[in-house]
Amino acid sequence: METVKRTKIIDLLNKTIGFNKKVCVKGWVRTRRGNKHVAFIALNDGSTIHSIQIVVDITHFGEDFLKPITTGACICVNGLLVESQGKGQTAEIQAEEIEIYGTADPAVYPLQKKGHSLEFLREIAYLRPRTNTFGAIFRIRHHLAYAIHEYFNKQGFFYFHTPVITASDAEGAGSMFQVTTLDMINSPKTEEGKIDYSQDFFGSSTNLTVSGQLEGELGAMALGGIYTFGPTFRAENSNTPRHLAEFWMIEPEIAFFDINDNMDLAEDFLKYIISYAMNHCKDDIDFLNKMYDNELIDRLNFVINNKFVRLTYTEGVEILEKSGKKFEYPVYWGADLQSEHERYLVEDHFKCPVILTDYPKEIKSFYMKQNEDGKTVRGMDVLFPRIGEIIGGSEREADYQKLLNRVKELHMSLDSLWWYLDTRKFGTAPHAGFGLGFERLVLFITGMTNIRDVIPFPRTPKNALF
């Protein structure tokens, strides 16, 4: 039925096509209302948060024809693009021909026009991209991913693809998903009665990666500056609004950077991405600001316009101890900071994003550069309002002997880390990097409160639906 080429609704509303021209639109019905003579269909095709109004003359089409055009149905419309009479919209279409691609029986289609709770929408995650809210979130998510590549490309960093399946535990935390093709019931055994991974697909025990950093460091030791951007997996049983079992991480790694260069990069990078979103996702951010969080835009502007506060972990703990506030988890030097502590520093004390550095070595990963004091390492966490930790990073231990000692102290497997240690033997160099949790960034920029709502198909403990 398409008599002229289909135009996206965003282009129709942006007036790239003059009025009184014949156009073709295709999309999903958001609502249909009207009276005996005329029907108004709000049609959305996902290209923008805005729907276009289709004006349908019922005497021309007949009531029976219109009946199946209900919320969720997909239609193709040919008609005349005219200036809209109604307020709040620029253009509408006077329908001349309509083809129904697919109906959505109102008796069973779960997305009716009334506002659904985010919890309910999570249960129907296969349909929720069709709502205004999730359309906005996933468009913003796309633009952020694009901006991240743009930023690093402009800085001369190379996109370096690190493996998803690995034989090493990058964070040394042990919360990994195993990858195996062995028969779980009749697995081959070694003489000591353990599972014989030499007979497994890769000839060794393997896992889904928890971080691309270790391989990223190999890239930085050759290309100078690289970044990774890929899926990451953690089998930690953290059922919180900020943890996913499968999330996307961006990890730049840069030769000849120290921790101060690293902090400068992290701050500049975050500000660039947030500004990009403000400039390229205005309609969607306005919508979320209006519907969910009326301080969202102020908060984004605040982060762009203010210098992040930088202090050491030790100074941070002193502030927390002196605060007189009762925390759920006690705070003392050596304690791993919880989200409530991080948010106190950011939201109550400094009222500004914070970068904490020089953490006790016991609570950080083996690869961080060891300070002279023998107690702390050159780690850095960037803490954001409402989120807590958004970035974790460090200057890396570049000295072979110091790194080897730490690996041994922690009883880590040299069999799976020898190649990493070799970088410190062959042309070692000072270097640093960090990891940004992509969904935490999307969470911050959309003003949503649960990380399950900023990734299309969340994976969390006991849930891998769709």
Q: Using CB under 5 A, list all residues that contact Mg ion.
A: 392
Phi and psi, residue 393, nearest 5°: -160, -175
Between 353 and 437, whose beta carbon lies closer to ligand 4AD?
437
Report 389-408 residues binding ligand 4AD (CB under 6 A): 389-394
Element (H, E) at 144: helix 132-154
Show contacts with ligand 4AD in window 145-174 (CB under 6 A): 170-171
The residue within the footprint of ligand 4AD, chosen from 211, 289, 376, 423 (CB under 6 A), is 211
- Distance, CA of 268 to CA of 251 (rounded, Å): 15
Interaction of residue 217 with ligand 4AD, rule CB under 6 A: no
How near is the Cβ of 72 to ligand 4AD at its closest, in Å?
Answer: 32
3-state secondary structure of 446: helix
Selected range binding ligand 4AD among 274-282, 288-296, 431-439, 452-460, rule: CB under 6 A: 431-439
* Sheet containing 165-166, strands listed edge to edge, beginning at the edge strand earlier in sequence: 165-166, 206-208, 178-179
- Indicate the residue among 135 and 392 with the shorter CB distance to Mg ion: 392
Give kind and range of the element (H or E) at residue 56. Answer: strand 52-57
Per-position x/- string for 112-151, each x denoting binding to ligand 4AD as judged by CB under 6 A, each - no binding: ----------------------------------------
Q: How far is the CB of 389 from Mg ion (least distance, A)?
A: 6
3-state class (DSSP) for residue 227 = strand
Q: What are the phi and psi torsion angles at 59 (to 5°)?
A: -65, -30
Buried b (16+ CB within 10 A) or exposed e, 437-449: bbbbbbbbbbbbe
Which of 134, 247, 313, 420 is close enough to bind ligand 4AD by CB under 6 A?
247
Torsion of CA 69, 71, 77, 80, to 10 degrees: 110
Q: Confirm or reject binding of residue 262 to ligand 4AD (CB under 6 A).
A: no
- Contact by Cβ (8 Å): 361, 355: no
- Burial pattern 277-306, b for ≥16 Cβ within 10 A else e, equals beebbeebbebbbeebbeebbebbeebeee
357, interface contact from ligand 4AD, Mg ion, none, CB < 5-8 Å by kind: none
State which residue, 92 or 439, has the beta carbon closest to ligand 4AD.
439
For residues 197 and 434, which CB has a smaller minimum distance to ligand 4AD in the complex? 434
Interaction of residue 251 with ligand 4AD, rule CB under 6 A: yes
Cβ proximity to Mg ion, 365 vs 423, nearer residue: 365
128 and 121 Cβ atoms separated by less than 8 Å: yes
- Minimum Å gap between C-beta 377 and ligand 4AD is 12
Please report the beta strands in 220-260, taking only residues with DSSP state E, as ranges in sequence order: 225-233, 246-255
- 386 touches ligand 4AD (CB under 6 A): no
For ligand 4AD, the closer CB: 135 or 212: 212
Q: Which of 72, 79, 225, 435 binds ligand 4AD (CB under 6 A)?
A: 435
CB of 25 to Mg ion, least distance (A): 46
Between the CA of residue 116 and those of 30, 103, 124, 133, 455, what are the distances in Å?
14, 21, 11, 10, 18
Among 243, 341, 361, 369, binds ligand 4AD (CB under 6 A): 243
Binding stretches for ligand 4AD (CB under 6 A): 170-171, 211, 213, 234, 243-244, 247, 249, 251, 389-394, 433-435, 437, 439-440
